[in-house]
Amino acid sequence: MKIPLAWSLHLNRFVSPQEVERGLKCRCICLDCTQKVICKQGEKKVWHFAHQSNSDCRGEGMIHRLAKDVLEQSVGKRILRLGLREIDFGTICKIDLEVPMPKADKRIDAGVTLLLPNGETQKVVLEVCVSNPKSKAYIRDMSTAYKRTPILELIVDPSLFFGAASAQQAMQKLLLENENNSCPRKWLYRWKYHLSNRVCRKCGKEKQAKDKTCWDCVPRRFKCQKCNGRKRPGHKYCLECSPTHIECDCGRIIHHEHGCLPCGIPGDYVCECGNEKGKDYESCYNCASFGYGDYEAQY
């Protein structure tokens, strides 16, 4: 059985086959079964560890333990690609390993406090999965114990450690960076993000509560072509940059030649008396000097 990593007795840490000598000179053991392992560095097959006693132990518990060690040493570092719509990264500011689950005889892998881009913190429960996904009963117990805390499962593939120069660096790159979705994130228990009205859904920056995204992520069609400010739909420019549209005292956006009918401001479509008129006429029907009003008054 091929094992991607082992515990070095003289280095006192997890190592990959590239970090130790060949054969039994590597002085490594498997922590799952506490048996000696052999470092095989052949020319045809990928370098790996194997049990001296030909055991069926896969050594997945060591990958699980290495993941916890890496998380414990990642305080102050940023964990990327969380898979959230509202926010996709956070900085680890505190972590507790093997935390007892409230009202249950179980333990969670890690309880992490993330520092969000807007300066606030959010607690997240992390679970590491190597080959055995969490059961529905376990997820139900966790969601009951942590009603307001999201639960994130980090899926680690053991085959990705074969050929790695350093087991610890490979694990750190998988858990924190997750390039090309090499370490998939699965939310076992989601929560209504309490900062969704203040955090941009795309980039995670702070935004106004009434907007869905920050101003940097707003589509170009909603921005003025001159000052990059907010404009009305269907217009090229905002009110300050518009050469044709102005704001009336009543708050309406009007064309400077058309005038404002409610306020009685003259223009192409507003008579001097404040009534509506045709664009090609100088005045409205009532103010016309030779209109139908004068004709009807004579007869």
DSSP string, 75-87: TTPEEE----SS-
Q: In this predicted structure, what is the pLDDT of residue 293? A: 45
Mean pLDDT is lowest, of 8-22, 96-110, 243-257, for 243-257
pLDDT beyond 70 at 202: no
Q: What is the pLDDT of residues 172-185, one digit of tens each?
A: 888 888 777 788 87
What single DSSP character describes residue 296? H
Backbone angles phi, psi at 97, to 5 degrees: -100, 150
Q: What is the pLDDT of residues 47-102, one digit of tens each?
A: 989 998 888 888 888 988 898 888 888 888 877 766 655 556 778 888 888 877 77
Helix (H) or strand (E) holding 23: strand 23-30
* Other residues' Cβ atoms within 10 Å of the Cβ of residue 157: 14
pLDDT beyond 80 at 286: no
Q: In this predicted structure, what is the pLDDT of residue 8? A: 92
Binning pLDDT at 50, 70 and 90, where does residue 285 land?
low
Burial of 249 (0-12, 13-18, 19+ CB in 10 A): exposed
Distant-in-sequence, close-in-space partners of 110: CB < 8 Å, separation ≥ 6: 68, 71, 72, 95, 96, 97, 99, 125, 126, 127, 128
Q: In this predicted structure, what is the pLDDT of residue 151? A: 81
Helix (H) or strand (E) holding 138: helix 136-145
Binning pLDDT at 50, 70 and 90, where does residue 292 land?
very low
Q: In this predicted structure, what is the pLDDT of residue 290? A: 47
Binning pLDDT at 50, 70 and 90, where does residue 249 land?
low
**Where is mean pLDDT largest: 100-104, 107-111, 208-212?**
107-111
Binning pLDDT at 50, 70 and 90, where does residue 27 land?
very high
Q: In percent, how much of the chain has pLDDT > 70?
A: 67
Binning pLDDT at 50, 70 and 90, where does residue 167 land?
confident
> Across all residues in the chain, what is the average pLDDT?
75
Between 206 and 150, name the one with better pLDDT.
150
Bridge partners of 125?
111, 151
Q: In this predicted structure, what is the pLDDT of residue 105? A: 73
Phi-psi region of 298 (alpha: psi -120 to 50; beta: other; left: phi over 0): alpha
pLDDT beyond 90 at 39: yes
Backbone angles phi, psi at 153, to 5 degrees: -105, 125
Mean pLDDT, range 237-254, rounded to an integer: 62
pLDDT beyond 60 at 261: no
pLDDT beyond 50 at 163: yes
Do the strands 6-8 and 23-30 form a parallel or antiparallel pair, or are they unpaired?
antiparallel
Q: What is the pTM of this model?
A: 0.59
**Where is mean pLDDT largest: 19-33, 98-112, 180-194, 253-267?**
19-33
